[in-house]
Amino acid sequence: MSFKDRQELKQLRERVARGSDAQRPEAVERRRKRGFRTARENLADLLSKGPFVEYGALAVAAQRQRRDYEELQRETPGDGVITGIGEVNSEYFSSQEARTALVIYDYSVLAGTQGFFHHAKIDRLLSIAARQRLPVIMYTEGGGGRPGDTDVTTQIAGLNVDTFASWASLKTGMPRIVVNNGYCFAGNAALFGAGDIRIATRASSIGMAGPAMIEGGGLGSFRPDEIGPAETQWRNGVIDILVDDEAGATAMARRVLWYFQGDVSPSTAQDQLPLRDALPEDRRWSYPVRDIIERLFDVESFTELRRVFGRSVITGFARLGGRAVGVLASDCQQLGGAVDSDASDKASRFLNLCNRTGLPVISLVDTPGFMVGPDSEAAGAVHRMSALFESAASMKVPILAVFLRKAYGLGAMALVGGSFAVPHFAAAWPTGEFGGMGLEGAVRLGFRKELEAVSDPDERQQLFDKLLAELYDKGKALEAAAHLEIDAVIDPADTRDQLINALCHQASR
């Protein structure tokens, strides 16, 4: 008798098949009715025909004492989570570069709740990711901790699991990418929130507690979709990238990982000459800095994070001559480019991510400085803005600064590493202007006595305008370069080439 006919092999095939979508039609249909995909379908789409080695596929929920074993095999395959090593973006990179640790929660199994063997599977995979320095993609849909695992008799609260600490402390030099669709509560939300790049669908509800826990705590009764809906979590910065559905989320997970897997062949760039006219002649007018970003970097290579949170600062990834970079940019169409508390949090988290993963940062600056005033202080400006300095000052990766226009005060310093002396290359467009604080405020503060001495309002305004023009002339980019406060003043059309050349002198990741 050949081995293929042996009973043991037949049993293995039957056991593995029980966890397949084909043998769980009712569970699949429930997903279909909600317009969602199965965990296996997300896995297949993520891999795009790349290989996958699964870990712990034969696990079931730790409930043998209360449920039939064959029923557990059919109803709780993998104990609600798929774990393994697969190749993502293998069409662009070598097998070694494409290797990725994958954790995909299966909501069709006990609502994606976290059980004893479930945690053990994730802990095992994270230990492998740590040793082999792999990126991780985790799909987090699920209801949090599971109280029904009766087989575990050696635990009281079960709070001595390693999963959350291992995930939060995982440092591989590669990103932790999380993807959510549907309900994500309690422990699942904790994993989502600790991710480096957080992608969610519009159907997501993400909260640190689900309806049962909230009601049990006497805090009221809520539907699941009322707790942390995606639009709310998008506005408050919990979600980095919001997409329509699981297909879009999976495509985005592949895209953001692409920035960290290695260099690619240089892509084409748009014509750079229009950059000479990108800024309006009147320095008081705003302009769409995203148009500058799209033109400056490789075509269609820019991906933005947290677009509607901390809107005066833009963060994202792009490629420059095929090399992946982090992009930090002032948006003068929001608060005039002033860095408020939310923007400080956003920039700080982004710089920390680039630092951990080795991406150099291109900072495009046009800011009057930090947002000030009583409302700003009430928002915790002192500690939140100071935290940006801490992140900026800890950067080990190269920072290249381009001062597009305004570069005033502490806010400008924080956006380029904490000091104009920090960037590996600091250049300004001819429109650049510099000062310890905004020019208008500097005139009012520094020349208060002179202005108050002029009683006629028209004459006072004339004096103000004269003093303002003098400060502007003193703070022009050409003067800043002449005093060696920046390295160069460059033709806007040469910015891309200048940055590529500057990056060539920096060590590759």
CB-count burial class (<10 Å; 0-12, 13-18, 19+) for 458: exposed
pTM (two decimals): 0.92
- In the numeric block, the tokens 């009601």 are attached to 215
Report the alpha-carbon distance of residue 420 to residue 313 in Å, rounded.
18
In the chain, which residues have pLDDT < 50?
507-509
DSSP 429-456: -TT-EEESS-HHHHHHHHTHHHHHT--S
110/91 Cα distance (integer angstroms): 35
> Looking at residue 280, what DSSP letter applies?
-
Please tell me the distance from the alpha carbon of residue 300 to that of residue 45, in angstroms, as a whole number: 22
Among candidates 394, 403, 456, which has minimal Cα distance to 425? 403
pLDDT value at residue 22 = 86
Q: Do strands 303-305 and 313-320 pair parallel, antiparallel, or not at all (unpaired)? A: antiparallel
Q: What is the pLDDT at residue 4? A: 63
Q: What tokens were used for 168?
A: 């939060």
pLDDT score at 462: 81
Phi/psi at 444 (5° precision): -65, -35
Tokens representing 443?
A: 């005139």
Residue with tokens 């097998």, as numbered in its chain: 95
Total H helices, total E strands in the chain: 21, 17
Burial of 232 from C-beta contacts in 10 A (0-12 / 13-18 / 19+): middle
What are the b/e assignments for 371-383, b being 16+ CB within 10 Å? bbeeebeebebee
pLDDT of 509 reads 38
Q: In this predicted structure, what is the pLDDT of residue 155?
A: 66
With beta carbons less than 8 A apart as the criterion, state whether 51 and 217 touch: no
Strand bridging mode 81-87 / 52-55: antiparallel
Both tokens assigned to 38: 């199965």
Q: Which amino acid is at 198?
A: R
Pairing state between β 313-320 and 183-185: unpaired
List, for residues 427-478, the tens digit of each pLDDT value. 999 999 998 767 777 777 777 778 778 788 887 888 787 877 777 777 799 9
Cα separation, 363 vs 275, whole angstroms: 16
Interatomic CA distance for residues 197 and 137, integer angstroms: 10
Cβ atoms of 330 and 293 within 8 Å: the answer is no
The count of residues in the chain is 509
pLDDT at 508: 41
Report the 10 Å Cβ neighbour count for 438: 21
Cβ-contact 241, 252 below 8 angstroms: yes
The amino acid present at 312, given as its one-letter code, is S
E strands, 302-416, in order: 303-305, 313-320, 323-330, 361-367, 399-408
Q: What's residue 487's pLDDT? A: 96
pLDDT of residue 354: 97
Within 13 Å of residue 211, how many CA atoms lie on the same side as its CB? 8
**What does the pLDDT read at residue 373?**
86
Q: Could you tell me which of 103, 111, 100, 110 has the C-alpha nearest to residue 82?
A: 103
